[in-house]
Chains A and B, each alone.
Chain A
Amino acid sequence: MELPLFRHNRPNRPVTFEEYREEGGFQGLQKALSGMSPAEVQQTVMDSGLRGRGGAGFPTGKKWSFVPRDLPGPRWLICNCDEMEPGTYKDRVLLEHNPYSLIEGMTLACYALGVRHAFIFIRKGYEKAAENLARGITEAKKAGLLGERILGTDHNIDLDLHLSAGRYICGEETALINALEGKRPNPRQKPPFPAVKGLWNGPTVVNNVETLANIPAIVANGAAWFKGLALNPEGAGSKLFCVSGSVAKRVCVELPIGTTLGELIDGPCGGMREGKKFKSCIPGGASTQFLTPDHLKVPMDFDTVAKVGSRLGSGGVIVFDEGHCLVEATLNLITFFARESCGWCTPCREGLPFVKEILTRIETGRGEDGDIDILREHIKYLNYSFCALAPGAMAPLDGLLNHFEDEVREHITKKRCPLR
């Protein structure tokens, strides 16, 4: 079956507006505006089983349903294109090939949610994606598919770009809202959740690029069609996987949900890099637990990966081989999180540098017997932080201690990194 997200892609250039339309683009929007009520669009998304593709996997229809129907004043939709989770580059690849699925998906989401004005929050470094989107928005407006009186109806929808200046925490939805308002992007206290009180205190939905880009095909082809794309019975749709690390080909591909980790690596990635043996991988961006060779048969879906103690996350798969020291890899990850902590709350601001210091000690042969216990305690303590950054940072550390404790211990007993 044809998968929705990459089917318009051309090898070396973005798809054009005309090509996208000829290949069925904007038919979902046409269908919704000519015969579906906003509630019906919302119900279709709910029934499709679409889950948030940014990392958390929250059911999209359910998230939409939290927006109160009867609150007065404007409500907002924000597309989160602050893709800064290490190992994740799927949204960039998608938008560099095709900005139209996102534009159409956002227009549909605005229609379903009663939103008049939506934003795309774009990270620094994604200027090419932003250029494509700016061009796409102009084209869609000219064709009457966006802006005033869409497709001759009474619906008006505006879409604006916000170009950020680089900081991982801006991807956290409440921090993102502060950033968009021009405030210092610290996360906000929840509740109230953005669905009730978000951007400029209005009801706000924040969805990931890939999530929204799925909406046109769901509306055009129906919820059952989308569900049927997955290989496992409880799954729905396709997923973009972006692979890096020790594979032969580091690719970004669209595969049915439920494809196994091993099939992803042996198929589109062409197996491991020559002479390298699979040791471990992080399945869904930096804030997910390490997996082991025992997990190569795990279907890549939210619940199936969660069942083995990790998360599907963003689909950013980072593959490690036998030559990689996972203490050093974890130290690299923690260094990233410590640097990107916004400093707002104590467990995160103080805890991450402390964990980093202990891992540095272990990696450089100065580790002590009690260090593993101290690390375990911090996995607990850092859950008391204000937002999900620090618990996310603890995920790879947790995976390291669960699956590779022997490797950590070897560092301590040998007083050096055994892989150097």
Chain B
Amino acid sequence: MIPEALKTSLETRVAEAITPREAAVDVMKELQAHYGWLTDEAVVEAAGLLGLSPLQVEELATFYEMIYRRPVGRKVIHVCDSISCWCADCQGIITHLKERLGVGLGGTSADGMFTLIPCCCMGMCGDGPAMSVDGTPYGRLTPELVDEILELERQKA
């Protein structure tokens, strides 16, 4: 169950939309922020708010890279593996992240803090290799910098 305040704000968002489902991505994002990932319960709640069937929400949720239909850690790391970051040796950064977190791609660290997911071009091609942690972008990564960022993000959590 979502808190009444969140429900009211989402209802307002839907009411302001030109058609209710136009607000679908916003609603999914807000519910995801509340639950940590888009749970089955959240899918049903989104459907109720948007006047859609849960299946219609599901076909949207599974389409987007940044909507998570499985549990994730407290912070998701998206590390870019597209061509410009490849030129800047993103493979080295990805290998380092895997080692540091003790996970494979898609895995969550044992402490539940980080989930590591490769992602497509982040538009940081001038500053590759690049990643984002919980939405915060970081560029010009080196293994040392990655360690600092992980520590910083751990402290901020």
Binding site for B on A (CB under 8 A): 83-89, 91-93, 117, 123-127, 162-168, 179-185, 200, 242-246, 250-252, 282, 286, 316, 318-320, 324, 329, 332-333, 335-336, 339-340, 342
CB distance from B76 to the nearest CB of A (A): 12
CB distance from B104 to the nearest CB of A (A): 17
Please tell me the number of chain B residues within 8 Å of chain A, measured between CB atoms. 39
Is the Cβ of B84 less than 8 Å from the Cβ of A244?
Answer: yes
CB distance from A319 to the nearest CB of B (A): 8
Q: How many residue pairs bridge A and B at CB < 8 Å?
A: 128
16 more CB-based (< 8 A) A-B contacts, given A87-B82, A182-B20: A84-B121, A86-B83, A86-B121, A86-B125, A125-B132, A164-B25, A166-B120, A168-B120, A242-B125, A252-B126, A286-B121, A318-B84, A318-B87, A319-B87, A332-B81, A336-B120
Is the Cβ of A181 less than 8 Å from the Cβ of B21?
Answer: yes
Known: A167-B65, A185-B63. A89 touches B123 (CB 8 A): yes
CB distance from A72 to the nearest CB of B (A): 17
Known: A166-B64, A167-B63, A182-B21. A332 touches B121 (CB 8 A): no
List 27 A-B residue pairs with CB atoms under 8 Å apart, sorted by A's residue number.
A87-B83, A87-B84, A87-B121, A88-B123, A89-B125, A123-B123, A124-B64, A125-B123, A125-B132, A126-B123, A162-B25, A163-B25, A165-B65, A166-B66, A167-B63, A167-B64, A179-B25, A182-B24, A244-B88, A244-B128, A282-B83, A286-B83, A316-B125, A324-B87, A329-B83, A333-B83, A336-B82
**0 or 1 for each of B54-79: is its CB under 8 Å from A? (1 = yes):** 00000110011111000000000000
CA distance A38 to B83 in the complex (A): 42
Q: Within 8 Å of chain A (Cβ to Cβ): is B18?
A: yes
Residues of B within 8 A of A340 (CB): 120
CA distance A87 to B132 in the complex (A): 17
Is the Cβ of A184 less than 8 Å from the Cβ of B84?
Answer: no
Is the Cβ of A182 less than 8 Å from the Cβ of B60?
Answer: yes
Is the Cβ of A250 less than 8 Å from the Cβ of B125?
Answer: yes
Q: Within 8 Å of chain A (Cβ to Cβ): is B127?
A: yes
Q: Within 8 Å of chain A (Cβ to Cβ): is B19?
A: yes
Residue with the greatest number of chain B CB neighbours at <10 A, chosen from A166, A243, A319: A166
**Of A127, A179, A183, A336, which is within 8 A of B83 by CB?**
A336
Residue with the greatest number of chain B CB neighbours at <10 A, chosen from A86, A185, A286: A86
Q: Within 8 Å of chain A (Cβ to Cβ): is B150?
A: no
Q: Which 10 A-B pairs have the closest CB atoms?
A: A182-B21, A166-B65, A244-B84, A165-B64, A244-B125, A182-B24, A86-B82, A86-B121, A250-B126, A166-B66
Residues of B within 8 A of A165 (CB): 25, 28-29, 64-67
CA distance A332 to B123 in the complex (A): 16
Which residue of the partner chain B has the closest CB to A184? B59
Is the Cβ of A127 less than 8 Å from the Cβ of B123?
Answer: no
Q: Within 8 Å of chain A (Cβ to Cβ): is B40?
A: no
CB distance from B85 to the nearest CB of A (A): 8
CA distance A266 to B67 in the complex (A): 42
Is the Cβ of B120 less than 8 Å from the Cβ of A339?
Answer: yes
Residues of A within 8 A of B147 (CB): none
Which residue of the partner chain B has the closest CB to A320? B87
CA distance A127 to B113 in the complex (A): 23
Is the Cβ of B135 less than 8 Å from the Cβ of A332?
Answer: no
Within 8 A of A (CB), among B82-105: 82-84, 86-88
Residues of B within 8 A of A83 (CB): 123
CA distance A259 to B38 in the complex (A): 48
CB distance from A183 to the nearest CB of B (A): 7
Is the Cβ of B83 less than 8 Å from the Cβ of A251?
Answer: no
**Of A127, A167, A185, A316, which is within 8 A of B135 by CB?**
A127
Q: Within 8 Å of chain A (Cβ to Cβ): is B44?
A: no
CA distance A251 to B126 in the complex (A): 6
CA distance A90 to B35 in the complex (A): 34
Residues of A within 8 A of B81 (CB): 332, 335
CA distance A16 to B83 in the complex (A): 34
Is the Cβ of A242 less than 8 Å from the Cβ of B19?
Answer: no
